Amino acid sequence: MSPVASLTRAAKTQITRLANGLRVGHARRPRDELPIDRGVSHFLSGLAFKSAGDISEPEMTSTISKLGGNIFCTATREAIMYQGAVLHHEVPMAMNLLAHTVLRPNITPDEVQHVRESILFELHHMAARPESYLVEMLHAVAYGGQGLGNSVLADSDSAEAMNAAKIGRFRDRLYTADKMVVAGVGLPHERLVELAEEYFGAAPPAPATPIKRDPAVYVGGSSQLVVPKPPATHLNPTPPLTHVYAAFPSHGYTHDDMFPLSTLQLLMGGGGSFSAGGPGKGMYSRLYTNVLNRYRWIESCQATHLAYLDSSLFSMAGSCVPEFNKHMLNVMLGEMLHMAQDLTPHEIQRAKNQLKSSLLMHLESQVVQLEDVGRQVLADNRRIEPSELVAKIDRVSLDDLVRVATELTSQRPTCVAIGEELSDLADAEATLAAFRAGTATTGRKKWYSWK
């Protein structure tokens, strides 16, 4: 039996909808936050598995410790996931804890204050590494600070203003059965349905007037964050760098173009300028061969694809020494504009093989399988099985790659940058206009002449 067939047979997905609308972990969408809700999802992830119902926080902590498994909560831009990995005979107890923290959290003032202090400490720590804000900046500019442009992080003002009443109102509005999925891996589907009925059957049903989510609206544009230089007496062993993100919008992850876009990302590849044995050893992606192996002043350059339900950002992240700021966007946008030029069958097949290999290796993990089932069922009421994913990747053609690359780069870009000195950083839209009009320095040798 082939690895794909074996994995598919083991991971076949069944879906059941309970009477209250809950699909058989729990998910909620931070992108649905209103301006007054800023930071609630950040707080909710920190408030997970505190006191709930008749279970005190010490009892909750003690029970989780006795289970000997791994129970945690993570928040992303489109979902909050409460997850547990425990032994088979402990599943009912884990489900009980999950149901308590999702449906019956107490959210006491002391718990809110404890989470507030943790978040403020986290923000203080991030301030020492301002480049960690780059992805949040990218989304805020790309989506105009609305919907997907909402930050998954609270800021200091929203953290200080947060209280139990605000969190409760938010939960009452969005924590309903129609927005929940109970997913499981490693136990029979019938048993999972029984446990979901027992512990989540009391989840509030959907409101009479369903809450509609506004579609993602891409805006685009540019933004820069100049960080102060450290004092002369400050000893910093690492030189300052300019960090840049450039992105173009595309379809969400339920669209068939997800597969050529993901293939294109692997084809572009990239990473850091150093690897064991020398820069780029054994790495043949476009960004290693065309960028990282050519320019000593570029510290990193990597293609990324940030995908959501109804939108995505195909982007390139790079960093360079500040003296070469004026060339950085020229290199990055030049590579993006010419992604689909001179593609060879060997290059395309290598990227497709990498994508299939990465996908199947990740799905060998039950934790990844669990998250995959929950996300797909929540978004599309079904799960695409691994064999179907592999077949869709195999069908990606040269024409598909040329088409999606052309569509991407015909749109308005988003560009954000963080660094100590950004005055000489090129304007993204002006750079693209020059390339398109043929007035930029032309010829690949001239584009890449700053070694």
pLDDT in tens, 30-48: 677 777 788 999 999 999 9
CB atoms within 10 A of CB 238: 5
Amino acid at 303: A
DSSP letter at 413? P
Cβ neighbours of residue 239 closer than 8 Å, sequence gap 6 or more: 321
For residue 44, the one-letter residue type is L
d(CA 270, CA 280): 9
SS3 (DSSP) at 318: strand
Residue 212 has a pLDDT of 79
Token couple for 34: 């209103």
The residue type at 24:
V
Q: CATH homologous superfamily for 221-437? A: Metalloenzyme, LuxS/M16 peptidase-like (3.30.830.10)
Chain Cα centroid distance, residue 131: 16
pLDDT, position 213: 79
Rg (CA), the chain: 24
2 three-state secondary structure: coil
Q: What pLDDT is recorded for position 446?
A: 39
C-alpha 292/C-alpha 131 separation (Å) is 20
**Residue 234: its pLDDT value, please?**
64
Instruction: Write the DSSP string, 33-93.
Output: --GGGTTHHHHHHHHTTS-BTTB-HHHHHHHHHHHTSEEEEEE-SS-EEEEEE--GGGHHH
Question: Can you give the residue ranges of every domain in the chain?
Answer: 12-201, 221-437
Tokens coding 161? 């203003």
pTM of the model: 0.88
CB-CB contact of 263 with 353 (8 Å): no
What one-character DSSP code corresponds to residue 440?
S
CA–CA dist 258, 241 (Å, integer): 32
What is the distance between the alpha carbons of residues 200 and 100, in angstroms, rounded to a whole number?
9
Pairing of strands 414-419, 242-250: antiparallel
- The full DSSP string for 101-160 is HHH-B---HHHHHHHHHHHHHHHHHHHTSGGGGHHHHHHHHHTTTSGGGS-SS--HHHHH
Nearest to 33 by CA among 208, 123, 154, 163: 154
Q: Are 257 and 404 in contact (CB under 8 A)?
A: yes
The single residue listed with the structure tokens 């540019």 is 222
- C-alpha to C-alpha distance for 286 and 293, rounded to whole angstroms: 10
Q: What is the pLDDT along the chain (451 residues), one digit of tens a residue?
A: 444 444 444 445 778 888 888 888 433 446 777 777 889 999 999 999 999 999 999 999 999 999 887 899 999 898 899 999 999 999 999 999 999 999 999 999 999 999 999 999 999 988 888 888 999 999 999 999 999 999 989 999 999 999 999 999 999 988 999 999 999 998 899 999 999 999 999 999 988 887 777 899 999 999 999 988 877 666 666 778 999 999 999 999 999 999 999 999 999 999 887 654 455 455 689 999 999 989 999 999 999 999 999 999 999 999 999 999 999 999 999 999 999 899 999 999 999 999 999 999 998 888 888 888 888 888 888 888 899 999 999 999 999 999 999 999 999 999 999 999 998 999 999 999 998 887 665 334 334 434 4
**How far is CA 126 from each of CA 76, 132, 153, 357, 421, rounded to the nearest angstrom?**
18, 7, 11, 34, 20
What is residue 440's predicted lDDT score, i.e. its pLDDT? Answer: 62
Spell out the alpha helix ranges (H) of 128-243: 134-142, 156-161, 164-174, 189-200
20-25-29 Cα angle (round to 5) = 80
Please indicate whether the domains covering 12-201 and 221-437 agree at the CATH topology level.
yes
Tell me which residue of 287, 327, 308 sits closest to 78, measured CA to CA: 308
What confidence tens digit (pLDDT) does each residue in 61-100 have? 999 999 887 899 999 898 899 999 999 999 999 999 999 9
Options 3.40.10.10, 3.30.565.10, 3.30.830.10, 3.40.50.10490; CATH of 12-201: 3.30.830.10
Helix boundaries (H) for 296-385:
325-337, 345-362, 366-380
Antiparallel, parallel or unpaired: β 298-307 and 312-320: antiparallel
Query: What is the CA 27 to chain-centroid distance, rounded?
Result: 15
Q: 343 burial class (0-12, 13-18, 19+ CB within 10 angstroms)?
A: middle
* Residue type for position 34: L
